[in-house]
Amino acid sequence: MFWVYILKCSDGTYYTGHTDNLEHRLGQHQGGVCGGYTATRLPVTLVWSQEFASREDALAAERRVKGWSRAKKEAMMLGDWDEVNHLSRGKHVHQRKSL
């Protein structure tokens, strides 16, 4: 199995990643072993994760979520799919005017 996860960093930002061993990867992040983004923002806290059947599915989901706004990620973490859908419409949605 594979996982997509979101970590909340000590500076309040979010990091999204994927792995085939969630517990091990969390330990790596906490220990600063992963380097990069989270290593300079310790400690980190797991705030969301979802399991996938294949690495390809997990990677596709990770890429999709990484492109989301903070508000959309937070709505997903709360399970507020109506808000996720609303935020998916973005700023380009136009309201129809009554005639």
45-87: per-residue pLDDT in tens?
Answer: 999 999 999 999 999 999 999 999 999 999 999 999 999 998 8
Residue 17: pLDDT band (50, 70, 90) is very high
What pLDDT sits at residue 63?
97
| Domain annotation covers residue 95 | no
Containing structural domain, residue 35: 2-90
| Domain annotation covers residue 60 | yes
The helix (H) or strand (E) run that includes residue 32 is none
| Domain annotation covers residue 99 | no
What pLDDT sits at residue 88?
85
| Domain annotation covers residue 98 | no
Residue 50: φ, ψ to 5°: -145, 140
| Domain annotation covers residue 6 | yes
Residue 39, pLDDT > 70, answer: yes
Q: How many domains does the chain have?
A: 1
Looking at the DSSP bridge assignments, the partners of residue 6 are 16, 48
CATH of the domain at 82: 3.40.1440
What pLDDT sits at residue 26?
97
